[in-house]
Chains A and B, each alone.
Chain A
Amino acid sequence: MKSAPFTLSTPVNLEEAITSFKEGKVYSKLIAGSQSLGPMLNLRLSQPDNLISLRNLPELREVTDVGDGIFIGAGITHAEIEDKKILDPSSGLMASVAANIAYRAVRNFGTIGGSLAHADPAADWVNLMQLLDAKFVIVGPNGKREVASNDFMQAAFTTCIKEDEILLGLKIRKLSGKAKFAYFKFCRKVGEFAEAIGAVLLDSELGIKRAIIGATAGTPFLIKNIDAVMNGDSEAMNEALIEAGCHDEYEYQMHKTALERALIKVAL
């Protein structure tokens, strides 16, 4: 259980990190908290020639109020969100989800940006960012660009971040005081990756009505016929589950129940 050999670059700011991509033509991977990529390296599922550590980049640690939203730097840890040490756009939803990611020892180092860039379909942040309709701020040699939540993750473990780009952070819209939400996940053991996720977000003041089916084989699935699903239309629910890729009977049942439980909780 030892990683294959690699070289390590430790840039101290964003500019240095971006220029370090250009040096040499080796296969590089970015690493932040080391809580997802660390195990992958030890298991030799990932064998990059070079690692670029983003740990010392002050730009990734920024959290700012941007008017109708909050910008959260990619280097903020799960524990910092759990402990409400940063500005919260989500009326406590992010903190409650963060508290149930893996274990405290992992949350102390694991970062929101690292988890998103890793893009495990069963991880919490990829699903929650889709629910919150976050904007992904990505930076590369040609400057910054913003990506909509629906376009960020392309498949399991695959995102739209290009080889010479870094996820800088997220812009998340502030929910109103009227927001109601529920996030339900099935884990066979506390702290493991979810078997199924169902989540609902309603904000009548901002006109938000979103629900997702998560921990599928692919990307977090945003339910299209939300009104019908919320009204208990079983055919609409069935269509959503099939479109989300839940063909297997077990998968179907787990995801259906997770979504139903989130819908019940939000209605209470």
Chain B
Amino acid sequence: MTKIDLQINGKLVSFEGEPRTHLGDFLRETLNLTGTHLGCEHGVCGACTVEINGAPARTCIQFAASCAGYEIRTIEDFGDDEVMMQLRDAFSKEHALQCGFCTPGMLITARDIVLRLPELTRPEDEERIRNELSGNLCRCTGYQGIVQAIQSVLQLRAMKVKNDH
């Protein structure tokens, strides 16, 4: 048994358990944060992606016991986040999901793309967006709607920046 403290969605939380418990299982089974989905459990599908210390990371290949002191944000913590609200609207509008299994991970990755690469607003940036999205698998949409949703948020935010000036 190992005991460590970490911060999850702004709250101080203790993990007490076996070192082999991965972060995804701790979030879902102990904390009931079931918005984080577990797909492949070996770091390929991206469904379990959350934000760790401000950057997207997989929870299925990260052991909870080695996350002492980390700040973790799961999809539940982004309810009133400006970018996430824009992405949620765009995902609805562009039909960027069907079954929704990949969506929490998709949204975390999409938010990272929008904030880290705000310059990807031209039509020819689609390839780069697709490359950046390649670590998140979706078996429903064929990705077109997801890519369009991200493009529309990038354009919306670029317009806003331009108008503010």
A interface residue numbers (CB < 8 A to B): 1-8, 10, 31, 34-35, 38-39, 41-43, 51, 53, 55, 79, 102-106, 108-109, 189-191
**Least Cβ–Cβ distance between B52 and chain A, in angstroms:** 8
Chain B interface, DSSP helix/strand/loop, else mixed: loop
When distances are taken between beta carbons in the complex, the residues of chain A under 8 Å from B2 are 8
Determine if A105 and B109 form an interchain contact, defined as CB atoms under 8 angstroms apart: yes
Determine if B134 and A38 form an interchain contact, defined as CB atoms under 8 angstroms apart: no
**Least Cβ–Cβ distance between B61 and chain A, in angstroms:** 3
A102–B82 CA distance with the chains assembled, in angstroms:
29
**Least Cβ–Cβ distance between B95 and chain A, in angstroms:** 23
When distances are taken between beta carbons in the complex, the residues of chain A under 8 Å from B130 are 190
When distances are taken between beta carbons in the complex, the residues of chain A under 8 Å from B49 are 105
B interface residue numbers (CB < 8 A to A): 2, 18-20, 22, 25, 40-44, 46, 49, 52, 55-58, 60-63, 65-66, 68, 109, 112, 130-132, 134-136
A105–B63 CA distance with the chains assembled, in angstroms:
15
Determine if A1 and B42 form an interchain contact, defined as CB atoms under 8 angstroms apart: yes
Chain B minimum-CB-distance residue to A189: B134
**Least Cβ–Cβ distance between A111 and chain B, in angstroms:** 13
Determine if B42 and A42 form an interchain contact, defined as CB atoms under 8 angstroms apart: yes
A53–B46 CA distance with the chains assembled, in angstroms:
24
Chain B minimum-CB-distance residue to A8: B19
28 A-B contact pairs sorted by A residue (CB < 8 Å): A1-B40, A4-B20, A5-B20, A8-B2, A8-B19, A8-B63, A10-B68, A34-B63, A34-B66, A35-B61, A38-B22, A38-B42, A38-B63, A39-B44, A42-B42, A43-B42, A79-B55, A103-B46, A103-B136, A105-B49, A105-B55, A105-B58, A109-B58, A189-B134, A190-B130, A190-B131, A190-B134, A191-B134
A106–B40 CA distance with the chains assembled, in angstroms:
15
When distances are taken between beta carbons in the complex, the residues of chain A under 8 Å from B52 are 108-109
When distances are taken between beta carbons in the complex, the residues of chain A under 8 Å from B62 are 34, 38, 109
